[in-house]
Structure 1
Amino acid sequence: MAKASFFAPSCVLVAALLLSACDSASSKGDGSNNDPSVARPVMVAPVRFDERARKRTFAATIRPSIESDLGFRVSGKVAQRLVRNGDRVHKGQALLTLDANDLRLQLDQAEAEVKAAKTNLTQAEADERRATELQRKGWAANATVEKGHAVAEEARSRLIRAQRSLELALNARDYATLEADADGVITATLVEPGQVITSGQAAVRLARLPEMEAQVALPETYVEQVRNATATLSLWSLPNRTFEVRLKELSLAADPTTRTYAARFSIPDAGEALRLGMSATLTLREMSAGHSARLPLTALFDHGSGPSVWVVDGEGRLTGRRVEIDRYDDRAVLISSGVAEGERVVALGVEKLDPGLTVRAISTLTY
């Protein structure tokens, strides 16, 4: 019984000694969190000064500069539709045709009117000459001669009217075929074969090529700046290619729903790569005086003395540096002063650092 009572306190003492040794080893292994001599890994960003540029991007859509509805100049029944949506057409190409039976009948009637007018004029001029000859010989009165002149003049006018009617009938026959007035793309077909339409009714919609533009919606804070900004365009399908664009038109009234202003930018060097309806990104860059360095927002901290950053020297030592902020932009901040070209600043985890710590740069962010 005495042996058992002696063994229990001995076990408790040994366990306590083991736990104490473990705690001591653990504290030694975890001492790097508080030991300033141990270099902590940090992510840094280099300081590079460039001309100050206010940059903003907007979603854009490629649209035609000129898009018009084409229609027949005469009424009739649509006989054929020769194009579909998306077809490329050339100037003078036939797009639709009308049933021309009635137009041919009108043409035949106009030709018959011309023949009749010519015959009538020939007879009237002969009568006029005969009356003039009889008057010269003294066998006809002046009234007879005047009547002959009037009849001949009326015959001449009738022939002119008939000839004009013939020209109109010829034009109407030609108008039975709707032709493209420029090179372009068919963006809509508004009638189908068998449909009876009136003159001037829209039949197809034609977008002219290569006159294309980018259409965007601008917030009212950018209405004035857009006139002095440099604009570039990049397609979502070709992100590595950039197009120079120019402001062509800016709406004077805001959209009542979105409260944005419609802006149209012309694309002078639009090539085969641009297609109607494509999505694009419009970048507006506004230059200003001076230079600034772009750093990530996560590099800033403020411990009561204003915005600051941690500068890392060549030996890995940290130095807190007060900086002047030019402006904030998306996920970055533009620094006008407080740091020098080529210095490195801590980009992430700045709130967990203290002056005097030694750090080790393991990666670099470029903004």
Structure 2
Amino acid sequence: MTKRFNRVLLTCAVFMATLPLGACGEKQQDQTDDAPLDRPVLVSHPRIAAQSQPREFAATIRPRVESDLGFRVAGKVVKRFVQTGQKVKDGEPLAALDENDLKLQKEQAEAELSAAKMAMAQTQGDEKRALALRKNGWTTDATLDRIKAAAQEARGRQQRAERALEMARNSLDYATLRADGDGVVTQTLVEPGQVVAAGQTAIRLAHSGELEAAVALPEDFAPRADKGAATLTLWANKAKTYQAKLRELSPSADPATRTFAARYSILDPDPAVSLGMSATLSIAAPGAERIMSVPLSALYNQGDGPAVWKVGADGRLKLTPVKLVRYDSDTALVSGGLTARDQIVVLGVHKLEAGRKVRVITKG
């Protein structure tokens, strides 16, 4: 009986000795589990967006200067030297008229000038002789006056003949239509054998140099055409955007379409921009406020308004209130408290707390 009792006491002593050690181990393990670890969070940067959507218009690339060239004299077209789309240099011949009648006019003017010179020479001699005779008293003043008048008339006739010959030479030169600058022929409106009037458009020439976007603006937008920033995108290459600026706005609306014709200069063109190409002109609303676009999953609302979790420079979370502007399909436009350099949490925002140190994973 005594031995059994001693064995029980020994067992109890061993149990009591091991109990504090187990408790200490459990407490140490609990303390290790409670230590906060850096939590991984997925972040991205806010994007700058416009509060108001820009207006878009269909545009056509046109030259700054486009000339409608025509003959300065009437006649029959005998030859056209260029085709539509052909590049030409300044002074290069474009078309020609029949010169037969113009050459005859020139020959007639030359004959008139020759006769005027002969008459002028004769009247000058008569005037000199009459002056000598009047000085010696061998003629009357009336005779001298008549001779002077004839000489003056001969001088006027010679001047008229000289001007007529000059005009005849110019008319003969006008029979050849020449380019008034370097450029590209955009339209030919005459054919050989056609009789044209003086000033009738024969060739349309687009001058080399600055290119523009021609667009028709509606009546409600025309007064604000120069208020917002304008950009241009070619239909052939929508990935490239060009800056544009309003150069010209028609003061009156088109009677058929009730739109105002406008020309926007392309500020940074490249060889990809060619005449006749189609483009889209985007004009931002005047005074549009710059705001930030964030994913919808980044918004967090505790009942005090929308906010986002922002990761600070020390890697800790900070709840930043924002003002909601509007919702888009998968983003929200907000203002206040954010910049494009900030890192905001985009997933699991309802499981975070302020001041928690996190490990940043950037959204690709």
Is TM (by shorter chain) over 0.5?
A: yes
Q: Contact conserved, 2:63 with 2:211, CA < 8 A, in 1?
A: yes
Residue 196 of structure 2 is matched in structure 1 by 197
Residue 278 of structure 2 aligns with an amino acid whose one-letter code is S
The alpha-carbon distance between structure 1 residues 143 and 255, as it changes in their structure 2 partners (threshold 3 A), is closer
Write out per-residue CA displacement over residues 159-191 of structure 1, whole angstroms, 9 at most, x where no aligned residue: 000000000001001100111112121111111
- Amino acid across the alignment from 2:343: G
- The secondary structure found in structure 1 opposite 2:124 is helix
Question: Which residue identity does 1:111 align to in structure 2?
Answer: E
Q: Show the counterpart of 1:342.
A: 343
Distance 1:281 1:45 in 2: 35
Offset of 1:343 from its aligned partner? 3.0
Shift of 1:235: 2.5
Residue 256 to residue 115, structure 1, CA distance change in 2 (3 Å): closer
Unaligned runs of 5+ in 1: 1-43, 314-320, 347-352, 357-362
| CA RMSD between the two structures | 4.0
8 A Cα contact 1:88 1:186, kept in partner: yes
Structure 1 contact 63–213 (Cα < 8 Å) conserved: yes
C-alpha deviation, 1:157, in angstroms: 0.5
Question: What is the identity, as a one-letter code, of the residue corresponding to 2:78?
Answer: A
Q: Aligned to 1:104, what secondary structure does the other structure show?
A: helix
Decide whether aligned partners of structure 1 residues 172 and 128 sit closer, same or farther in structure 2, where only a CA change above 3 A counts.
Answer: same
1:73 alignment partner AA: R
Deviation at 1:289, TM superposition (A): 8.2
User: In the alignment, which residue of structure 2 is the partner of 1:134?
Assistant: 133
Name the CA shift for 1:328/1:181 in 2 (closer, same or farther; >3 Å): farther
- Which has the larger displacement, 334-343 or 232-241? 334-343
2:54 alignment partner, one of 39, 51, 56: 56
Residue 262 (structure 1) shift: 3.5
Q: Which letter does structure 2 place at the counterpart of 1:131?
A: A
Contact kept? 2:55, 2:285, Cα under 8 Å: no
- Give the CA deviation at 1:236: 3.0
Tell me by how many angstroms 1:213 deviates.
0.3
Match of 2:243 in 1: 244
For 1:28, the equivalent position in structure 2 comes to none
Distance across 2 between alignment mates of 1:295 and 1:197: 66
- Report if the CA contact (8 A) 1:135-1:142 is conserved: yes
Give the counterpart letter for 2:344 in structure 1.
E
For residues 220-241 of structure 1, the C-alpha deviation after alignment (integer angstroms, 9 at most, x for no partner) is 5654554232223233334444
Gap change, CA 1:231 and 1:163, over 3 Å in 2:
same
> In the aligned structure 2, how far is the partner of 1:329 from the partner of 1:156?
88
Structure 2 counterpart SS, 1:227: coil
CA separation in 1, counterparts of 2:297 and 2:188? 57
**Paired AA for residue 114 in structure 2:** K
Question: In 1, distance between residues paired with 2:201 and 2:167?
Answer: 22
Per-residue deviation, 1:121: 0.7
Which is further off, 260-269 or 113-122?
260-269
Match of 2:29 in 1: none
Corresponding residue of 2:78:
79
- For residues 135 and 338 of structure 2, the distance between their equivalents in structure 1, rounded to whole angstroms, comes to 116
User: Which residue type is aligned with residue 115 of structure 2?
Assistant: A
Q: Alignment identity in percent?
A: 45
Secondary structure in structure 2 of the residue aligned to 1:63:
strand
Q: Separation in 2 of the partners of 1:220 and 1:326?
A: 29
Aligned to 1:184: 183
Matched AA of 1:71: G
Q: What is the match of residue 228 of structure 1?
A: 227
Distance in 1 (alpha carbons) for counterparts of 2:256 and 2:335: 39
The question of whether the paired residues in 2 share the 8 Å contact of 1:325 and 1:334 is answered with yes
Q: Which residue of the partner structure matches residue 33 of structure 2? A: none
Q: Could you give the per-residue CA deviations for residues 117-165 of structure 1, whole angstroms, max 9, x where no partner exists?
A: 0001111111111222222222211111111111111111100000000
Secondary structure of the corresponding residue to residue 246 of structure 1? strand
Q: Which moved more, 1:231-240 or 1:47-56?
A: 47-56
Q: How has the CA–CA distance of structure 1 residues 252 and 332 changed in structure 2, closer, same or farther, with 3 Å as cutoff?
A: farther
Shift in CA distance, 260/105, structure 1 to aligned 2, threshold 3 Å: closer
Structure 1 contact 188–206 (Cα < 8 Å) conserved: yes
TM-superposed deviation, 1:195: 0.5
Aligned-partner residue type, residue 146 of structure 2:
K
* 1:162 corresponds to: 161
Counterparts of 1:238 and 1:72, CA distance in 2: 40
Report if aligned partners of 2:52, 2:288 keep a CA contact under 8 Å in 1: no
Structure 2 equivalent of residue 149 of structure 1: 148
